[in-house]
Structure 1
Amino acid sequence: MADKEATVYILDLGEPMADCHNGRTESDLDWSMRYVWDKISTTVAASRKTWTIGVIGLNTDATDNRYARDGLDGYDNISVLQPIGPMTMTSLRELHSIIKPSRSSSGDAISAIVVALKMIEDFTRKLKYKRRIILVTNAESPIDDDSLEDVAQKLNEFNVELVVIGADFDDAEYGFKEEDKSREKATNEKALEKLVSQCDNGVFGTMAQAVEELSIPRVKPVKPFKAYDSLLTLGDPAKYESSALSISVERYFKTKRAPIPSASTVVVRPEHGGPTQNDGDDDVQMGGTEFSGVKHMRTYRINDPDAPGGKRDVDFDELEKGYQYGRTVVPFSESDFSVTKLETKKGFTILGFIPFTSYEPFLNMGESGIIVAKKQNDEAELALSALIHALHELESYAVARYVQKDGAQPQILLLKPNPGIDDSFECLYDVPLPFAEDVRSYQFPPLDKVLTVTGQILTREHRLLPSDDLNEAMSDFVDAMDLSTFAVDEDTGEPAEYAPVDELYNPVIHRMNQAIRARAVHPDRPIEPPAEILLRFSRPPEKLLDKAKPEIDALVEAAELKKVPAKAQGKRYGGRGNSKKDQAKPLSGLDIDSLLGETTARRSATATISPENAIPEFKQALATADDDATIERAVKQMGDIVRKLVADSFADVLYAQAAEKLGVMREELIGLELPGVYNKFVTGLKKSILSGELNGDRREMWFKFVVGGRLGLVTGEESEVSEVEEEEARAVS
């Protein structure tokens, strides 16, 4: 069952909270509300109805609480801003609009705690809840400390956690002390600290630390989830009752992938009738605008000459699934699917054993689990312990077939023994293994030797093999960049791990969560940059780079690294005037034209681009072109090759080759500042494809490889000389 929480926030809205202190440019209220909004928005994002929130205003101009209505003294200027209940986006917006400083400063914080305690008592009764009261104040208002012991006793009786966070409260552990503190604030601060110390479950802290820790991502606590509760078998107990092994076990998830928050598609409601009361999947209000969820409805039509318009609507039940095989759609009925579907039964069976040395870590396929003996089953604990120790002593893993429930897809799991020698916890860890269809084998040339065309094997001197100086320089560089001992332990002063696992956060997930919370609370403000803790390990530390600079310089020198010059942009020829511009010079400084002669340029004017070597010949033709006619002739030949590939392709076999040549043509013509030539060709290519001129229906080539591969018209953003706007390019695509 999900945890139930009841949290009441007591917010000091008194007049002193509107002042700025200790060099801050924002008021104490705005500064403190950073912490409160972060906590509340986190609860809203969790969307758990069992996480309830109530809000009380302290030092409000009005008075609205149960005790004041009953005529009791000491409860003035305390208002219940929101009763305890689920927090929604609508209630968050309403709360945001009323959190403003008042003109009062006579409310009693201890009385506000009593009001919050009564709210929790009435709401939770004797049910199992995690109860919490959070007081946010700067303690500038008078506090009646006569009944501190009674209040603390009542808090302990109902097991309520009291959290008091004050603006500019002294905290020796954090290292903060406010200078020139008023006598009244110092007295009130000590009274609150005394109250917290008398509580069995209390926290007293300064707001500076709370705000600073907001940038630290909060890891979501996850309860153990039982995925399997049955037998782990070795052999078939039904056939071999005397020799088969059968152990009652339970399997829990050890690691679970954290997903990125999903997005929902919404539209602005055409009628705006005030605040939306329904915050479910249908309606929600953000920033004063009401949105409604998008509901999808599909209709299916088939060609029917007898129907009006030549098409007829059909029900979904009349359809069959189809899978594309090339350009052909192969129907796959439910009866066919039932034949191919594997009928499985819930089970966990060990198939065999392999030594530790036969397993490679890269074979891990997903989330890991943990297997323990069934609770309060001594026989199962003894049997599983014997299996675990046998695997450990033989240095072997077990390979098992796992089916979580009837009809589920089977998994092959690798079981690793944990004999509990170091941590006294015996269990089996498991991780999914790939099936044969999941493995893709690729061959790469070796890094330590070179095989020449004559069959000779070179292992020492070759331009592709590292020299001894390079190997030594790389080894020194790796040692110098070692992060395992770069940090310093704050307690002992000894070298420590720079990037421990528990401080490595997924920047995508936590940055997204931070942005969602910020946008929920302040829809009109710009989102702040990512927290430094998320970017800390995205780059090497500056001190380490400075320390390793000699090794880096030595590595650059040994590897003979040179900076690659920027790619030359613009025309590489003189256009119609035949007056050549300066061309990009090679790093060697040699005059290639003088070495090879002028015959290359003369040959390119009449040369034909062959389909077998189209790309190099096309680039060579453009590089040696002296006028527009030569370029247009090369483009026409390349275009004919692209068209022929599309027309001759069996299904989509040759589409990728055509798209590759089209991409080269596009890139080269952009570099020559002739995007119009490419745009003219690609426009004609689309007409030919859509009209069926290229040997049938070739629309897949256009939409998947041209549009999907971003090979459409060249816009003005890609080339300054292009006159095509972005909207026109999208229309053509």
Structure 2
Amino acid sequence: MLIEEAQAFAGLVQAMYDTNTVAIVRKCFSERSAPELGFIRPHIAHDHICMYYVKLPFAEDLREFEFENLDGTKRNQPSDEQLKCIDSLITSMDLTHADRNGDEALRPEYVFNPYVQRMFQSIARRAVTPDEPLSLSNTIMEMNDTLLRSVASKCKRTLDTIHEKFTLRDTDRRQKITTGDALFGNIDSSTKKPRLDENENIEEPITDSSITNMDSASFEAQAAAKKKAALRNVGTLTPVEDFKLLMEQGSPSFIEICKQMCNLILELVNNSHGDALFEKAFQCLQCLRDTCIQKLEPKIFNDLELLLKKQASTVDG
């Protein structure tokens, strides 16, 4: 059976290699892990054939950051001395001949993962001497650490020069105050109100309407403050507003708030008479999706979407 599977795999790899094609696949490491989307490409060598798997990003995984152009202002242009300092730093950190024998240092094939090295070293140590305590010595890591220290010592003089040439200063930005005279021009002195003396006390009459407006505004502000302080869960009346308010407060945790929102969406969908509550559920779902994208937590929304699809397929079936 294994020979037949190997022949089928070899035929697939050869066919993909001849047609110069790749395959879009879905990878799932275990039943509890989230699926990944990727592609496999064939690889044929003189002693083996295989396929390489490359993970593909989703739209939520892509981030586009816009930065200002540093060449736009003259004060950001480096001087010739600063450029020479950076060139000297690059030269001093060159690892081509940094090894003791004049060879290249820290070559990728000789730089090992310290976690894996420590694990195998502990297993070998425990198998050979089970009664002795584990030693923390690691010859490979000590050699790399010594090499890094030697490279850092060579760069110290250049770094000191860079510290002198690239000075950092604390700048206080003073906000420019624009007055009415500067904005609208000079105002005629006859139109200005006379300045009151210190002994004059003139009070404007307060009408009943102004008192009513002040009372209503203060009452609404107090009610909003009390609601904000007492809010702990996402309610069914205004779920989107409650969700955003809880996110601003930061209490409870982000996972707990999203869990409440997911449960509310499922409750709206399951308890809806026809499609009466579908619009509110869709608004909650859209708000949850935008928040998960912003917080770089797409798995919460994807799990909820899979659960909704599963329930919909069960109802249709």
What's the TM-score, normalizing by structure 1?
Answer: 0.21
**Higher share of residues assigned strand:** 1
Rg larger for:
1
Whose helix proportion is higher, 1 or 2? 2
Higher RCO by CA contacts (8 Å cutoff, separation 6 or greater): 2
| TM-score normalised by L of structure 2 | 0.42
